[in-house]
Amino acid sequence: MLNGARGGRPREHSYGELLDAMVYLVRTSCQWHNLPKDVVPWGTVYHYFRKWKKSGLWETIHARLRQQVQRRALP
């Protein structure tokens, strides 16, 4: 699902850190600018959120999670 770019500048924050920050935003309903200072900078989180939204990654994640839930619900 997530393919890293070849070459270029090394990533400062892991995908897990970015996803944790996005989950924090959803759970607390805070604004982008109000992310705690000890997590990934809000601009970085927003950049990846938009990038993943435009690429369709969020839909892919949602579809796979839905499939897993449906499989577990079957007798």
Q: Which residue has the higher pLDDT, 2 or 53?
A: 53
pTM above 0.85, yes or no: no
Predicted pLDDT of residue 74: 78
| 11-18 average pLDDT score | 93
SS3 letters across the chain? CCCCCCCCCCCCCCHHHHHHHHHHHHHHCCCHHHCCCCCCCHHHHHHHHHHHHHHCHHHHHHHHHHHHHHHHHCC
Q: Where are the domains of the chain?
A: 15-73
pLDDT digits (tens, 9 = 90+) for 20-60: 999 999 999 999 999 998 999 999 999 999 999 999 999 99
